Structure 1
Amino acid sequence: MDLKDIQNLIKFVAKSGASEVKLEMEDIKITIKTGSEKTETTILQQAPMGMSQMPMAAQVPQAPVQSEVSADTAKAEESKFIEITSPIIGTFYRKPSPDKDVFVEVGDTVNPNTVVCMVEAMKLFNEIEAEVTGKIVKVLVEDGTPVEFGQPLFLVDPS
């Protein structure tokens, strides 16, 4: 397993919402722990035969995506938007079925009764309504990914 595979694994785990993932293969053990703002990865790899049998450990921190200035600007812009949050834990779906169109797109106007997505929990598909009036500005969750209670799903501009 090379560094690029490990980095892709870290990104996948961070997006999935899992708090800890352990992967053990013949010659490598990987533990990835995610918290609210940081991802910690410990990699223990067995040395090839003939070399010292001491395990090798490496820390691979997740680099911040934005600089502090642009993050503050983005937070200020997003503060005027209303979040549509998930009322339950489950799997987020933007479409009523795989062969149908998405419920809402960025730029669509919604009202309190507009269905914006579905969250599947224990084989039950729950339609999630906007509960606000405005325009969809951003979709915050990818289709088919797990969501938590209270997790923001959409940003709506109420103006």
Structure 2
Amino acid sequence: MVFLTVTNLLRVRGPDEIWRKRRIFRLAAAFIGRRRNCYSVAVRNVHRALVYATKARKLKKEDMKELWNTRITAACDQHNISAFALKEGLDRSNIMLDRKSLSDLAAWEPRTFECLAAVAQKKLELDGFIDGADKKHPTGVNLNLKDVMLETWLKEKK
């Protein structure tokens, strides 16, 4: 930097302050108003945004884990096996797939997931594993929840 007077040279605290402020202003570039232009306001808002970003990374992992479990459970219900029994059967068969892989197979490759469920079920039968969940065989009829509830309501009214 070039200073035309000595007073301007004395007022600047050096290059460290310039770069420190520049880093904050770059992080605050998307903000609106004084949150973007005024350093004292920008610093507070940038720190708060960074805290939220840190928390959001952990929440994102939890949300994805919950989504994967939901997909696996729904696919297991279609094939008459509990999610625990599926995982146990795959582990005993030395098929090491994590939640993400299983959920992707359940969503995008249903036939492959069906084969994995069959392998797990067969292995559990051979090992004599007893699952605590009482699963019934599917009827092959797609039930609409509204219709089922309507029939129940009509029976109560009679």
TM-score, normalising length: structure 2: 0.21
In proportion to residue count, which structure has more helix? 2
